[in-house]
Amino acid sequence: MPDVAVVGGGMVGAACALALTRAGFGACLIEARAPAPWRAEDEVDLRVVALAPSSAALLRELGVWEAIATARVSPYRHMHVWDAANGAALDFDAAQQGRDALGWIVENRLVQDRLWQALDAAGVRRLCPAELRDFAVREDRVALELADGSALSARLLVAADGAQSPLRERAGIAVRGRDYGQRAVVAHVATERSHEQTAWQRFLPGGPIAFLPLADGRCSIVWSLPDAEAARVLALDDAAFCTEVGVAGDFRLGRIVAVTPRAAFPLRLKLAERYDAARFVLLGDAAHTVHPLAGQGVNLGLRDVAELRDTLRAARDAGRDFAVAHVLRRYARRRRSADTLDALSFDALARVFALEAEPLVALRGLGVRLLDRLTPLKRRLGEHAAGR
């Protein structure tokens, strides 16, 4: 019987299974579909993540960061954020914060691929393709029933099965939040000027557009737009799309000279009312989904992983049952508090930058300019984003 069964083999679920195994727990990973392998000759995956230093540190502990970093990543050493309505800008610099980089732009598929490669070497039992049909909590374990009729038990069940999480629903955990009525349009673009290892983000009335530096010199764009506008720009031909992206980014990197096929995904705020139940915990998107304006979604999930590992290990090393209610409640209380604060902060930023009334726009500009001059506060914001 494994100590922990993790359901969901995305970046967060795979990292959780690997982290727990490295910490001395017996873990199995249940996933419906194996991820497509990452290959250097393939086009850069449209889904990229801005990994914070805390996430890189965890991946380094798990023994996979070097394999990721030597494959295809792009550090960003600067961040420039500006408001289209009033010109106010905010700058962050890694050197001023005593770091080599503010973060790294990495393909989701690359991170997942390297984690999956590490699972076998670490001794994680992989059940794939497999689907969890049902589970029942016993006094000292959770009985799991798979879709093929097989069964197994674990002392703890971890749900990392995504934003729609069937396991969260089966556990009776409610969610709250809102639909932004927006979609994030994503693509990779070639620009006339170098991205300068800088993450660029411009706030527009309809939503922010971010230019994230890629290792091949292009940028990944993440453009948050109202649903109807997103549908309109997705339907544009390449030349018209490039022109609109250039206008949206104020041609800060010159003209947009080429673009890949694009995609879009809906934006929603979701927070689980609780992260734990009897011998059951949530983490990653199953627990929280946030607005992408700060690029923190996966980083929050990986912080969940680190917290869960440390909490379970401390209980086990003290000779206690690591899956009892008060232990899981400790993990849930710490992470839900931190995740909620971050999620609501991102939501508040989205609301504030959507305001168009002139006095409020002027006040917002004043606040941004003041923040840019308050070095200690700006440094603290940078440290928080880094996961410190």
Q: Rounded distance, CA 101 to CA 219, Å?
A: 17
Kindly provide the residue ranges of all beta strands, DSSP E only, lying in 67-128, ordered along the sequence. 73-76, 78-83, 89-93, 103-107, 125-127
Contact (Cβ atoms closer than 8 angstroms) between residue 169 and residue 320: no
Identify whether 97 is part of a domain: no
Identify whether 235 is part of a domain: yes
Residues 145, 215, single domain; the answer is no
Residues 282, 246, single domain; the answer is no
Residues 234, 168, single domain; the answer is no
Which domain covers residue 363, as residue numbers? 181-267+355-386
Residues 198, 144, single domain; the answer is no
Torsion angle defined by CA atoms of residues 177, 179, 185 and 186, in that order, rounded to the nearest 10 degrees: 20
Residues 289, 305, single domain; the answer is yes
Identify whether 44 is part of a domain: yes
* Both structure tokens of 65: 């960061």
**What pLDDT score does 341 carry?**
87
Identify whether 258 is part of a domain: yes
**What pLDDT score does 28 carry?**
97
Residues 68, 122, single domain; the answer is yes
Residues 345, 360, single domain; the answer is no
Q: Which residues, at least 6 apart from 77, have a Cβ–Cβ distance to it below 8 Å?
A: 93, 94, 95, 100, 101, 102, 197, 198
The tens digit of pLDDT for each residue in 255-312 reads 999 999 999 999 999 999 999 999 999 999 999 999 876 667 899 999 999 999 999 9
Residues 236, 273, single domain; the answer is no
Which alpha helices (DSSP H) does 213-317 contain, by range?
A: 227-234, 238-248, 297-317
Residues 255, 364, single domain; the answer is yes
Contact (Cβ atoms closer than 8 angstroms) between residue 387 and residue 303: yes
Q: Rounded distance, CA 299 to CA 295, Å?
A: 8
For the chain, the domain total comes to 2
**What pLDDT score does 387 carry?**
56
Identify whether 281 is part of a domain: yes
Domain with 213 in it: what CATH number? 3.30.9.10
Q: Rounded distance, CA 91 to CA 207, Å?
A: 19
Identify whether 47 is part of a domain: yes
Those residues of the chain that have pLDDT short of 70 are 293-295, 351, 354-357, 359-363, 365-368, 370-372, 374-388
Domain with 317 in it: what CATH number? 3.50.50.60
Residues 22, 143, single domain; the answer is yes
Residues 326, 313, single domain; the answer is yes
Identify whether 34 is part of a domain: yes
Residues 135, 252, single domain; the answer is no
